A = this chain, B = another copy of it.
Amino acid sequence: MEKVHNETEVQFLNLVKKIESYSEALALLAWDSRTGAPKKGMKQRSQVIGTISSEVFQLSTSKEMAQYLEDLQIPDVFHSLSEITQKTIQECQKVYDQNVKIPSEEFTEYVILQSESETIWEEAKDQASFAKFQPYLEKLVNFKRKFVEYRGYEGHPYNTLLDDYEPGVFVDTLDTVFGELKEKLIPLVKEVSNSKHQAKTDFLFEHFPKEKQRDLSESVLKEIGYDFEAGRLDETVHPFAIGLNPGDVRVTTKYNEKDFRVSLYGTIHEGGHALYEQNISEDLIGTPLCDGTSMGIHESQSLFMEKFVGQNPSFLEKNYALIKSHSNGQFDDVSIEDFYFAVNESKPSLIRIEADELTYCLHIILRYELEKALIGGEIEVADLPRLWNEKMEEYLGITPENDGEGVLQDVHWSFGAFGYFPSYALGYIYAAQMKQEIVKEIPQFDQHLLEGNYTEIRQWLKTNVHQHGKLKKPSEIIHDITGGGIDSKPLVDYLTEKYSRLYQLGK
């Protein structure tokens, strides 16, 4: 008996390793497609990606896999297995269930619709024509509603979609924390907008040579501890980080010679994602646990680096000379205080990806409320433009001139990614919770930034977040750090304190 289940375990883990190998090949194909693969090879490239993806799908849902999962989950067997094997089994079971519950013809139809919709969305966005996109979005929403029925749900149907991105987080929790955020942030944003003390920012937009930005990005990545022997930095239109394995986590960035912040903060943001994956425990290599535990925790790592490190006054003080030496001299007469105020300027704006940290979560909450209601059948696709604009006015005091800069601005819905948006706001909330705890354990946090010494900070992040990969669920990560659950208070406190000071509120 002992021998038999050992053999099953070995065979199961070999199958898992095979799936992970194919996934790494897919990650390289994706990276390559976005960093300079010749366009005339793309048609054949799709074939290659299609072949390997469908192999991964087939292995994940094979009879072999089903049998291993069944045999290894017999209680006596399961409890004799290591924690890594147990959680690998649970992860594979989850993927198996997701994939087998949806009838394959419907899924194929959906995949075709996804790629059509993305193309139509691009055109619709350019033409600011919601009518053009509406029938596609309606079909996508209908598919999603049906898929949720197939997969089953507890409480609200949206919970099932949330589970794809933020396992263990439900509508109830989001309603609470997002409600608190709204209550505090809407008036704060208004006060900031109305403050007479505003930042001077013209120097941010002067010419900053691309090659110099590249050097600056490399220096800053090295400073925060990104390991260039386990990664590389390339240029793309849409920056991203991608982990092939912990020894190969690649970052891309974008250079705008009229706004150096795009590359500086884009690089630090993606660098935060990359640090996470470079520091996952080697024990998890070859299993599906060798990945970030959720989109929200992943985003917390990028935002921690971007906001709590990169926009921190001590970081800027340490690096201002470096930034100046790479620039064309535009900061020579700008004090560090004015520079700090400028890079932390807050202003309500229409476009999410250009939003600052104070207004960002309101963009997300708006999307969350709309997509939750859509999936729940409380509103219909046709209602979206009107509701979008009403909420923009209510939360940020501004209204889009057209749907291109409104409801059509994001790509996510065009490929059916409902349930994804909340992760961005959760990332802010988690990051603020972590910041509150890390300074208790490392009171010299700011001093370390001033000295460019990240050893203790990185060690803390590795110990508490990075190394665990998917071994811990998001809620466990947060509980083990804070002793409690998701809490919006640290973020509200941080933003209130910071922006009251910057904009001299109540003075």
Contacts and interface: CB of A to CB of B under 8 A. Distances in A.
Interface string A1-34: 0000000000000000110011011001100100
Contacts of A248: 37-38, 40-41, 44-45
Contacts of A44: 24, 244-245, 247-248, 285-286
Contact of A39 (B32, B39, B51, B229): B229
Interface in A363-385: none
A176 to B, nearest CB: 41
A42 interface: yes
Interface string A41-58: 111110110111000000
A232 interface: yes
A91 interface: no
A36 B232 contact: yes
Most buried by B among A24, A37, A41: A41
A230 interface: yes
A406 B51 CA distance: 46
Contacts of A28: 28-29, 32
A28 B32 CA distance: 9
Contacts of A37: 232, 248
A25 B39 contact: no
Identical copies of this chain, number = 2
A250 B250 CA distance: 21
Contacts of A227: 40
A231 interface: yes
A205 interface: no
A153 interface: no
A406 B87 CA distance: 56
A319 to B, nearest CB: 25
A228 interface: yes
28 contacts: A17-B47, A18-B51, A21-B48, A21-B52, A22-B52, A25-B29, A25-B48, A25-B52, A28-B28, A28-B29, A28-B32, A32-B32, A36-B232, A37-B248, A38-B228, A38-B231, A38-B232, A38-B248, A38-B250, A40-B248, A41-B244, A41-B246, A41-B248, A42-B247, A43-B247, A44-B247, A44-B286, A45-B244
